[in-house]
Structures are given as C-alpha cells and as structure tokens.
Amino acid sequence: MSRYFSEKYSRLVPYTPGEQPARGEISIKLNTNESPYPPTEKAIRGAAEAAAYLNLYSDPEAKLLRAALAERLGVEPDEVLPTNGSDEILNFAFMAFCDEGSPAIFPDITYGFYPVFADLNGVPYRTIPLKDDFTIDPADYYHAGGTVFIANPNAPTGIALTLAEVESIVAANRDNVVVIDEAYVDFGGESAVSLIHKYDNLLVTQTFSKSRSLAGARLGFGVGCVDLIRDLNTVKYSTNPYNVNSLTMAAGLGMLADDETVMARCQKIAETRDKTAAEMQKMGFTLTESRSNFLFAAHPAVEGDVIYRELRKRGILVRHFTGARIRNYNRITVGTPEQMEALLGALRDILAERT
C-alpha cells in the first residue's frame, strides 16, 4: 500500500476472481462457470462490424440493446439498464439502495462479491446463515430491515428458490429493495422478471456471462420499475456513462437474435449436469440439487482440497472454497459432455488411489 491510499479503502479486502490460466496450461477449465460454447456467428460478426466505428463513443443509452432485451423479457425499455457485467449493476444497487438505515442483507454462503461491494461503498451488512442443507428459508428474510440480495439459483450451492418463495420475500420487504441476482436462471431457475410490474421494490439482475457465452465481453443488466432504473441511471451517469462498449453491445444483440440456440444450449448443459451428478453420486459424492451450470460436490472419504489438487495435476481446473462450512466442497462448472466424461474418469482415478 502506498502512503497515498485513501484511508477509506485501506482495509478493503478485494474480491478474488477465479483463475484464468494461460491458454494451454489447463486442458479443461471448469472453475468460473463460463459457457463451454463460443458466441454465435451473429454475435462475432456483429462485434467485428462494430469495430469499424470504435472512433465513436458507444451509445450511452444503449437504445438498441435495451429494446431487444425488453422484447425478450416482456418489459418496457425504460425498465432495463445494461451494465459492464452484472457485477456493475450489483455495485450500482449497493450504491443506490444501501446505507446506514438500509444495510445490505444476504446469506452467509453466497456470491463472494456482495460483502466486497458493501465494504467498498461503506455500507453495513448482515448475513443470514443458510440452513444445514444449504437451502434458504424464505421466512428468514421477511421484514429484514435492509436491502436484501439473493442469488437465485444461489452460488456456489446451485440451489434455487421457487418463484412463489421469491415473491414472498419481495412482498414482505415493501419498504426496502430486494435484489434477485439471476446469473444462473437460464439453467433451470424460475425468473422473477414477471413480478417487476407488481412490486416497485424488486430489482432483478442477469448476465450474458454464463448462459450467453459472453463472459469476456462483460455484459449484464438490471430489470425493475422505471423509478428504480432511474435511480440506478443517476449512479451510472455519475460513474461511467459509456459503461457498455460498442463491441459488447453488438455481440449482445447477436446473442439475443440467436436466443433459440442459446436456450437449447442451456437445456443441453442442464442435461449434462444431471447425468454427471448421477454418476458422481454413484461414486459416493454428496451433491446439492443444482439448477445452475455447476455442481457443488464433496466426498466423504477424500478432502475437497485434495480433489482440487489431484484434478489440477490432471489438467482439470475446478473451484475450491475455504469457508468453514464448505471447505470440503468443490464447485465444478458443467462443460461439454466430453469434458464431463474426462472429469468423471479423473475422479474415478483419484478415488481409486485415495480410498
């Protein structure tokens, strides 16, 4: 730390992103929940064509993208705000809706960026423990007295709340915003977007990083009533009006134009997930019921970090966690069927050696 670093950030512990190994170092990358499938031709061509106009600023209003998103989601363009990854809309929500009087509230085991955003913005926060089986009890969030953040499906557990459960939380917190982070919803969750016309305290966030093959483009968005989106725009125009670059907007439009392909891929990933989970169960793994594009798994006979390291030796990278309740678990992104076959083969080897 330099002696110039602002006092208000000096104790900040930044978020640790999953490793992005150099190409060639790892043969099967299952650690950051990216799509195993590349962007579609339309997305690639769109970005390439947009490159010819990089001398101009991107559209700060993202008009074309908002129109396409609104149509896809069944909402109005003024109810959508595209951002630089969904991390940015989440940060905007901490900036816009949290303070001393409305602290941030989220589960003890969830997306690791929430406490970082709270600390970055000087916002107090409180965590609510998941139940022993890693599920969320919706009633724990009724009349929470703060701005609620819930990832649905949750990460790294993959477990989803039903739409009725989400609605019960939103309805029981009318004096505070409830943010539902739907980064993984396309793999089998129920989206709460349809509720934004009923509840003016609901903000739903989604991303193109997981289901839409654009993690490297950085594109996410928020959906909520016009007033919430206006507040978030006040924050956006005070931070970075050109927050989404023109290549990314074009690529996003391309992926939306190929929505049928995208949804078929999500379906395929969900099937691969369930087959892989069934095979791992036969090997003795304990798994959560994942509705996302990853598995969350522990083995009673081999420690989580041993499995992580042994997989890595075999060129397979997964994500290992060190938190007290989850240190025995690994989070494994669902890749192609071929990648999952390789994973299962490696796990069989490791168990044969270690048990």
Ligand X SMILES: *Cc1c(COP(=O)(O)O)cnc(C)c1O
Let me know: does 183 contact 206? Beta carbons within 8 Å: yes
* Joined tokens for residue 164: 């009725």
* Joined tokens for residue 173: 């917190």
Q: Which residue, 89 or 350, has its beta carbon nearer to ligand X?
A: 89
From candidates 39, 43, 73, 87, binder to ligand X by CB under 6 A: 87
- The four Cα atoms 23, 29, 34, 39 give a dihedral, to 10 degrees, of 50
Q: Which residue, 119 or 182, has its beta carbon nearer to ligand X?
A: 182
What is the nearest approach in angstroms of ligand X to the Cβ of residue 33? 6
Is residue 82 within the footprint of ligand X (CB under 6 A)? no
Question: Which residue type occupies 289?
Answer: E
The burial of 41, by beta-carbon neighbours within 10 Å (0-12 exposed, 13-18 middle, 19 or more buried), is given as: exposed
What is the nearest approach in angstroms of ligand X to the Cβ of residue 229? 18
Secondary structure letter of residue 121 according to DSSP: T
What is the nearest approach in angstroms of ligand X to the Cβ of residue 215? 6
Is residue 86 within the footprint of ligand X (CB under 6 A)? yes
Strands 104-107, 286-287: pairing is unpaired
Q: Which of residues 179-198 bind ligand X (CB under 6 A)?
A: 181, 183
12: left (phi over 0), alpha (psi -120 to 50) or beta: beta
What is the nearest approach in angstroms of ligand X to the Cβ of residue 99? 22
* Joined tokens for residue 1: 């730390």
Is residue 254 within the footprint of ligand X (CB under 6 A)? no
Q: Based on C-alpha coordinates, what's the Rg of the chain?
A: 20
Is residue 334 within the footprint of ligand X (CB under 6 A)? no
Write each residue from 33 to 52 as x if it is in contact with ligand X (CB under 6 A), else as -, in one continuous string: x-------------------
- 246 membership: H or E segment, kind and range: helix 246-257
The strands making up 125-128's β-sheet, listed across from edge to edge, are: 80-83, 220-224, 202-207, 178-181, 147-151, 104-107, 125-128
Is residue 85 within the footprint of ligand X (CB under 6 A)? yes
Is residue 209 within the footprint of ligand X (CB under 6 A)? yes
Total chain residues near ligand X (CB under 6 A): 13
Let me know: does 265 contact 293? Beta carbons within 8 Å: no
Q: Which of residues 100-159 bind ligand X (CB under 6 A)?
A: 111, 151, 155
Binding region for ligand X (CB under 6 A) out of 83-91, 260-268, 279-287, 323-331: 83-91
C-alpha distances out from residue 309 to 162, 273, 312, 338, Å = 35, 22, 5, 21
What is the nearest approach in angstroms of ligand X to the Cβ of residue 149? 9
What is the nearest approach in angstroms of ligand X to the Cβ of residue 95? 16
Is residue 220 within the footprint of ligand X (CB under 6 A)? yes
Q: Which residue, 91 or 299, has its beta carbon nearer to ligand X?
A: 91
The SS3 call for residue 317 is strand
What is the nearest approach in angstroms of ligand X to the Cβ of residue 220? 4
Binding region for ligand X (CB under 6 A) out of 80-88, 235-243, 251-259, 334-342: 80-88
Binding region for ligand X (CB under 6 A) out of 84-92, 187-195, 249-257, 280-288: 84-92
Question: Which residue has its beta carbon closest to ligand X?
Answer: 85
From candidates 102, 207, 211, 333, binder to ligand X by CB under 6 A: 207
- What is the DSSP code string of 148-204? EEEESS-TTT-----HHHHHHHHHTTTTS-EEEE-TTGGGT----GGGTTT-TTEEE
Binding site for ligand X (CB under 6 A): 33, 85-87, 111, 151, 155, 181, 183, 207, 209, 215, 220
